[in-house]
Structure 1
Amino acid sequence: MGSDATVLEVPGPDGGREVRVSSPGRVLWPEQGITKLDLARYLVEVGDAFVAANGARPVSLQRFPAGVDGEQFFSKNPPKGAPPYVRSVPVTYPSGRSHPQLVVDEPAGAVWAAQMNTVVFHPWASRADAPDLPDQVRIDLDPQPGTDVADAVRAALELRSVLEEAGLVAFVKTSGNRGLHVFAPVEPTHEFLDVRHAVIAASRELERRMPDQVTTAWWKEERGARIFADYNQANRDRTMAGAYSPRALPHAPVSCPVRWDELEGTDPTRFTVLTVPDRLREVGDPWEGMHDDPGSLDTLLQWWDRDVEDGLGELPFPPDFPKMPGEPPRVQPSRARHTEQGTTEQQRPER
């Protein structure tokens, strides 16, 4: 692995920028022999589509200094020495603490992140100019043991219909692993908790229509061989790999937008750092113009209110969140039953 450096010319809105890539021969994906320079060149080639999907948003960088098989860590605030075209925006985390978060505004920012050994980019569902107001509904369809991507495809197609009935236009991408991510652009008029409730309402409606195939159960022991509609990805500071972001898996996959008419039969393993640039040139960006006509959350929030009136209230939050109003106990159901049985035994009078 050489210690020399390569300078890439990266096109952007203000003309080309020269971005220095040190240790260009460092291998990030050993099984594929894909290097740091390969990653940087990939981000140049997909730069416009990448920025359209992930730019102007708070973003966390998942960095792998020794490659995807080595140690990793997250960067949220700009490291020292960040170039002037990389900025930050203050955001508020679930704890109530505020801190600056990175923002990528042009392809050179993504290439600079690759120079910092970033493999996975995790953008927020809100934009830097309104970080408390998401402009995307996001639902992660996560295959559980006993299911596969074909099951996720069937769930995604039905979820598209659910969102359409709620007045929203859905877009889909591969997760870069086994699942699918379904997005819908919305007006940035509601805070994260409202968007979470809208996502729960859509997920519950999907679950009603496909009860044997889809679940909203937070606890793994209750999910069975079904697709988990992960509503908690709608929370503040909860992110998923962005569109066109590579993933830290051996075959160097990419979380790749696809058209709805090509979803059935899609093999997510085909979308990699090596193949996606050609795909983008051949078929274009399926997410182009996603935010041209954002929708309203009104119908989904009406569904949420209806479900609350029917006794379906709040669902569990992630364990790192503060206890939230109306949230059920954060205890594994089997453990809760065991505790209740033990209490009953202790309280049972002696004969």
Structure 2
Amino acid sequence: MRTSTVKKKRSSPPAKAGKVSGKLQTLLRKYGFTDAPEKPFPKTVKPMLATLVDQPPGGEGWLYEVKWDGYRAVALCKNGDVNLISRNNKSFNDKFYPVHQALLQLNKNAVIDGEICVLNEKGIAHFGALQNWRSEADGELIYYIFDLLWYDGKDLTGLPLTSRRGLLEALIPGTDIIRYSESFNTSATDLLAATKKMGMEGIMAKKADSFYIQDRSRDWLKIKSNKRHEVVIGGFTNNEGSPKAFSSLLVGVYENGKLRYTGKIGTGFNTRQQQELMQRFQPLKIKKCPFIETPDVNQPSRFRPNPPVATATWLKPELVCEVSYAEITGDGVMRHPSFEGMRTDKPAKAVTAEESAELVDILPQKEKTKTVRLTKPVGTRSRKSLLNPTEATQVKQVSQHQLKFSNLGKKFWPKEGYTKRDMLNYYYQMAPYILPYLQHRPQSLNRFPNGIEGKSFYQKDVTAVAPEWVKQFPYRTSEGEDKNFLVVEDEASLLWMANLGAIEMNPWNSTIHNPDNPDWCLIDLDPDKGNTFAQVIQTAQVVHEVLEGLGIKSYPKTSGSTGIHIYIPLNAKYSYDQCQLFGKLVATKAQEQLPTFTSIERMTRNRKGKIYIDYLQNRPKATLAAPYSLRPKPGATVSMPLYWEEVRKGLKMTDFTIENALARVKSEGDLFKPVLGRGINLERLLKKF
């Protein structure tokens, strides 16, 4: 499956409201859709903003929702195109490509308001996780939708909120990524208490009859469980003798166009985040303090009467981050602030002090009802993309190792357009299935650094290039040199190898734990140029019949090239000599039944254009493309395990490619699993020949 490249597919416009089912037509009338005025599709939308208050409202006429801790995003969808924008009109199309793709697949003419979040396993959104999100491997990305502003030529902003939400739920189907943000029939006090207990950001209170206005409004209120705010970074400090990139961030907010200092943030970021921030700070360094008053970065406190000596570096006030804190002191400085993440959806000049209004000035007293469940667990996450579709170089943490992936846009299959990124994403997704056939096995690398049409070369020795955490297995050359094979132990070493341009995986038949005892015996059907694939299929069927006649279960797979591979499990109980003898006996019996177009002759010139029934692959250090391995062939084919019933007329190599291999394995499971199972009684079988 082509996992990393987002394609915009132009599709036919959605059906008009008049062509919908009777049930939906009733809902459209109920919620006032038919009476809504017609209006052209908007080019952009400024989202309706809520007013921060210090306590939850009560009384009748309010809808309560979870305040999702993420990025506000409006989806402008029309005629198969989607523009996903932030609240300051920046595009999220590439940054949050799974949401963009999910909206494309909806194929709706609509303007939808919502919040993009990353959820943990309990369904709770955390802004820090979203801020660090680069690809689907970094967390479960969800687009919570809560309002519908325009649909199929109709302006819905003048309808009451309950009508807009009713239409949203009826007209916009949910997906794995797109979720409807529920409203809760409970008291605001109880809902806020529940969000605080669960570590969520807070709640939203919206008047049920409110219209949608593109401005801040008191018809929508936000109440935070914990105090959080956006701040502008105006500098950083370095403590004397500290090994850290920086010790704290100096931050503030704008008042009347000038930056007022609100404190320094010394916690909440890890080493990697500090290093990334320092890279962003470099071009912003200035000599003059950007704050109205220069903060005293060495001021002692009750808790630190003798703080370490710090020096300040000033920055152009252009970067915005989010901070959580206990409270604001009388002089406007935050107590116990902690860094939550960078924000790119809001310009620095728009960051002002956001003081909560006294609720008594706005609403009557609250009333109390019971609490309800707030979140939906994300469930078991399926593997999606490791690498996002835009950045040419990306660094990822895999199996506790940091890997740098480069040249990701390079076309490895030029005709089909598949890139190095597509290949790496494939191996990341296929890792749970292919790793059992690679683990603890030395590898022979077949490297294609410039794709299948570029120069390639084989590499066995990785002594000089492999990082220290990659396992190696020693060997000695005929010249007496000591060298090392690469040994795949986990998905990090698998992806490190693939990143070298090793398109196909070529493991030994034995592991480093039993190097002289293969785990399987294999028969490789290798056709010559004059053979047809129908003849290869016929030969495989005969080999199958020979093995069945001996009471042996065998397991076929496509080679991904021109042949078929047949595996017989041995469970590392026999030597390579025993394995090869058995393979020769099976190959001989099959060749005797098909003498006109098969051969067991090793030398090509002696085969005379016949299919080679190769049993000599059963020898030490020999390698063959692993199950589920990609092949450096046109079409980006895959060496795919098969049911024997599939080895019949009509089977083609191109049936299994990078596009569909993962879907097949998810559907059928690992058909090759028995190859690593109990194994046959080879000694008893050899007596039958």
TM-score under structure 1 normalisation? 0.77
Tell me if the contact between 1:54 and 1:243 (Cα under 8 Å) persists in the aligned partners: no
Tell me which residue corresponds to 2:586: 202
Per-residue deviation at 1:287?
0.9
Structure-2 separation of matches of 1:49 and 1:149:
27
Tell me if the contact between 2:560 and 2:637 (Cα under 8 Å) persists in the aligned partners: yes
Tell me if the contact between 2:523 and 2:565 (Cα under 8 Å) persists in the aligned partners: yes
Which stretches in structure 1 are left out of the alignment for 5+ residues?
Answer: 307-351
Q: Does 1:7 align with 2:425?
A: no
Q: Structure 1 residues 54 and 144 mapped into 2: Cα distance closer, same or farther (>3 Å)?
A: same
Per-residue deviation at 1:25?
0.9
- Specify the code of the residue in structure 1 equivalent to 2:445: L
Tell me which residue corresponds to 2:500: 116
Q: Does 1:46 align with 2:430?
A: yes
Per-residue deviation at 1:206?
1.0
Aligned length: 299
Q: Structure 1 residues 128 and 95 mapped into 2: Cα distance closer, same or farther (>3 Å)?
A: farther
Offset from partner CA, 1:13-44 (integer Å, 9 cap, x none): xx676533112112211111111111110001
Structure-2 separation of matches of 1:104 and 1:212:
42
SS at match of 1:109: helix
Structure-1 separation of matches of 2:414 and 2:463:
27
- Specify the code of the residue in structure 2 equivalent to 1:119: I
Tell me which residue corresponds to 1:77: 461
Structure-1 separation of matches of 2:563 and 2:652:
11
Per-residue deviation at 1:122?
0.9
Per-residue deviation at 1:278?
1.7
> How much is the aligned-residue C-alpha RMSD, in angstroms?
2.6
Q: Does 1:68 align with 2:456?
A: no
Per-residue deviation at 1:147?
2.0
2:672 to 275, 287, 297: 287
Per-residue deviation at 1:179?
0.5
- Specify the code of the residue in structure 2 equivalent to 1:48: P
Q: Structure 1 residues 113 and 238 mapped into 2: Cα distance closer, same or farther (>3 Å)?
A: same
Q: Does 1:162 align with 2:550?
A: no
Offset from partner CA, 1:234-280 (integer Å, 9 cap, x none): 12222121111111112211111111122213221121122211221
Structure-2 separation of matches of 1:96 and 1:226:
39
Q: Structure 1 residues 154 and 28 mapped into 2: Cα distance closer, same or farther (>3 Å)?
A: same
Tell me if the contact between 1:139 and 1:182 (Cα under 8 Å) persists in the aligned partners: yes
Structure-1 separation of matches of 2:493 and 2:522:
24
1:184 to 568, 574, 579: 568
- Specify the code of the residue in structure 2 equivalent to 1:31: K
Q: Does 1:55 align with 2:439?
A: yes
Per-residue deviation at 1:79?
4.6
Tell me if the contact between 2:520 and 2:675 (Cα under 8 Å) persists in the aligned partners: no
Bigger share in strand: 2
Bigger share in helix: 1
Larger Rg: 2
1:275 to 660, 670, 676: 660
SS at match of 1:110: helix
Offset from partner CA, 1:62-102 (integer Å, 9 cap, x none): 11112111121223233545345531223578999874321
Tell me if the contact between 2:567 and 2:675 (Cα under 8 Å) persists in the aligned partners: no
Tell me if the contact between 1:166 and 1:299 (Cα under 8 Å) persists in the aligned partners: no
Query: Does 1 or 2 have the higher relative contact order (CA < 8 Å, sep 6+)?
Result: 1
SS at match of 1:257: coil
Tell me which residue corresponds to 1:297: 682
Q: Structure 1 residues 76 and 26 mapped into 2: Cα distance closer, same or farther (>3 Å)?
A: same
- Residue range with higher mean Cα deviation, 190-199 or 268-277: 190-199
Tell me if the contact between 2:460 and 2:486 (Cα under 8 Å) persists in the aligned partners: yes
2:521 to 123, 126, 137: 137
Per-residue deviation at 1:288?
2.3
Per-residue deviation at 1:125?
0.8
Q: Does 1:146 align with 2:530?
A: yes
Per-residue deviation at 1:144?
2.2
Q: How does 1:193-272 map to 2 (within 5 A)?
A: 193-224=577-608, 226-264=610-648, 265-272=650-657
- Residue range with higher mean Cα deviation, 255-264 or 84-93: 84-93
- Residue range with higher mean Cα deviation, 152-161 or 82-91: 82-91
Per-residue deviation at 1:131?
0.9
Tell me if the contact between 2:446 and 2:502 (Cα under 8 Å) persists in the aligned partners: yes
Per-residue deviation at 1:201?
1.1
- Residue range with higher mean Cα deviation, 39-48 or 154-163: 154-163
Structure-2 separation of matches of 1:40 and 1:230:
31
Tell me which residue corresponds to 2:411: 27
